[in-house]
Amino acid sequence: MTLREMHWSDIETLAALDVELFADDAWAPATWWSELAERPRRRYVIEEQDGRIAAYGGVDVAGETADVMTIAVAPDAQGRGAGRAMLDALVRLATDGGAEALLLEVRADNESARKLYDRNGFETLTIRRRYYQPGDVDAVIMRRHLVREDQP
């Protein structure tokens, strides 16, 4: 797999994958455009395999805290470590940007994502009750402390 920066020419494919992977919470092409064009603090990357998008994700890095904006693995690439690799890439981007902690928000009913975060150093900070509508699904806010290599 190859890690590369996201580019505007990826947007059509990403918007289609988002509908498959996030249904009602998918980002429309206009959202992707604005994320790439108007948000300089955000870094979006893609894991490519055989010329196809296997995984994608992004972080917002602002001072001591960074936020995961999105993370996803294409349906036919899931369950083989691509999610973990993308999470590692986002952790590196956040750390290199100077952040000391990485925050994310996950639906309480998203078992595969929660397992990924639980096993990779994230702890639950707080729960926002009935945050996702429709469906009354809680949002779980998680945090991982980051360690910079130049720190003693």
Ligand X SMILES: CC(C)(COP(=O)(O)OP(=O)(O)OC[C@H]1O[C@@H](n2cnc3c(N)ncnc32)[C@H](O)[C@@H]1OP(=O)(O)O)[C@@H](O)C(=O)NCCC(=O)NCCS
Chain residues in the site for ligand X (CB under 6 A): 21-22, 71-73, 78-84, 106, 110-113, 115-116, 119
Residue sitting closest to ligand X (CB): 83
Cβ 56 to ligand X, closest distance in Å? 9
Cβ 148 to ligand X, closest distance in Å? 24
Q: Which is nearer to ligand X, 88 or 98 (CB)?
A: 88
**What does the alpha-carbon distance between residue 141 and residue 126 come to, in Å, rounded to a whole number?**
5
Query: Closest Cα to residue 71, out of 83, 61, 81, 57?
Result: 57
What residues have CB less than 8 Å from 85, skipping those under 6 apart?
1, 47, 55
Q: Which is nearer to ligand X, 37 or 129 (CB)?
A: 129
Q: Which is nearer to ligand X, 1 or 40 (CB)?
A: 1
Residue pointed to by tokens 């078992």: 111
